[in-house]
Amino acid sequence: MKKIPDEIVACLKENEEYLILLHQKPDGDAIGSAIALGKGLKQLNKSVDYYIETPIEDKLLFFEEIDCFNRQLKESYDVILFLDCSSSGFAYSPQTMPKAKVKLVIDHHKSNAHYGDLNCVEITGATAEIVYRILKALAVEIDEEMADAVFTAITTDTGSFQFSNVTNDTHIIAGELYKVKPSYANLSKRLHNQKNMDQMKMTGAAIHSLEILDSMPIALMVLDYDTIVKYGGTINISDDVANVGQNTIGVAITALLKEVRPGDYRVSLRAKFPFDIHKIALKYGGGGHERAAGFNFRGDIQEIKDDLMEVYQTQCEQDETI
């Protein structure tokens, strides 16, 4: 595994007071990375505060460390940590940002803008892979909750090791977690299979809306505002819903449109190699990865359909093997 740069390790060794920030609507990777790194720093007798958007998805609420989230903030910190956050604009941050000697960015998004004073940015399966390697470099002992946190982060951000972002390192790190506890079967089922009734119904509504665009292998799903309200809000749209379109045989590109307020959409995109939907997300000020990205949108849905079809057609013209 690649070494964590010395200056990153030195920064975490030398400083004492930390504030951890994540992206808005924190997912399994964000929460898992925060808990693993936060507990690791506490083990080294550092003080750690967390400023994290709530509510957090039900399936992640089993972590005891969540009790330490969102306590009174200090006016200043040695280090503000931005985890799993491709730009400072996506970070969920306090209205008045505390002062900090150092802003340290730890992230795995290709679109990361290197907006920190120090940036530990690598394209990995999950931010928690980088966090795990940092903990090892700091000689932190991984306890069961930290192991669950790293496993949660990796398994959710890789779709249970199914996505193209999985590497040899992803499996090596997951494998090392079995030295801490013997099984992650229950955790895996909790994270990937179990849903509350509203989440089940929301998934059903998304599947019901599934359509294929103009005889191209492009799937579109729309959860309209009324449906989202009926089933308890966006918190009940589980991560795997966007993959439903993508799991349909023959589909290469999927868009899931979530109408979060009347006329306002949050769009999740998925693609199979070699299609790159990241550029669509960037066009609308969003971010993500080549095969999984997202953005906010207000306007005529047809515009998004046109973008998806253009990505498909352009790639096909460049690559005659498709």
Question: Which residues bind to Mn ion, rule: CB under 5 A?
Answer: 29, 84, 127, 157
Q: Which CB, 111 or 234, lies closer to Mn ion?
A: 111
Pick the closer one to Mn ion by CB: 157 or 240: 157
Residue with smaller CB distance to Mn ion, 125 or 308: 125
Residue with the shortest CB distance to Mn ion: 29
Find, among 275, 272, 265, the residue nearest to 248 by Cα: 272
Instruction: Characterize the bridge pairing of strands 292-298 and 264-271.
Output: antiparallel
In the chain, the N- to C-terminal Cα span, in Å, equals 34
CA distance 98 to 22: 15
Cα 53–chain centre separation: 14
Least distance between Mn ion and beta carbon 17 (Å): 25
C-alpha to C-alpha distance for 299 and 265, rounded to whole angstroms = 9
Which of 149/308 has CB closer to Mn ion?
149
CB of 120 to Mn ion, least distance (A): 14
- Taking the least distance from each CB to Mn ion, the nearer of 34 and 235 is 34
Minimum CB separation from Mn ion for residue 30, in Å? 7
Number of DSSP helices (H) and strands (E) in the chain, helices first: 11, 11
- HSE on the CB side for 48, CA within 13 Å? 24
Nearest distance from C-beta of residue 127 to Mn ion, angstroms: 5
Q: Min. distance of Cβ 123 from Mn ion in angstroms?
A: 11
Measured CA to CA, the distance from residue 200 to residue 233 in angstroms comes to: 13
How many residues would you count in the chain? 322
Residue placing its CB nearer to Mn ion in the complex, 35 or 304: 35
The values of phi and psi at residue 203, to 5°, are -60, -45
Our CA dihedral for 143, 127, 228, 191, rounded to 10 degrees, sits at: -40
CB-count exposure of residue 305 (10 Å: 0-12, 13-18, 19+): middle
The CB-of-109 to Mn ion minimum distance in angstroms stands at 7
- Shortest Å distance, C-beta 126 to Mn ion: 5
Nearer to Mn ion, 224 or 239 (CB): 239
What span, in angstroms and rounded, lies between the C-alpha atoms of 257 and 95? 29
CB of 29 to Mn ion, least distance (A): 3
Rounded distance between C-alpha atoms, residue 172 and residue 154, angstroms = 12
- Nearer Cβ to Mn ion (127/170): 127
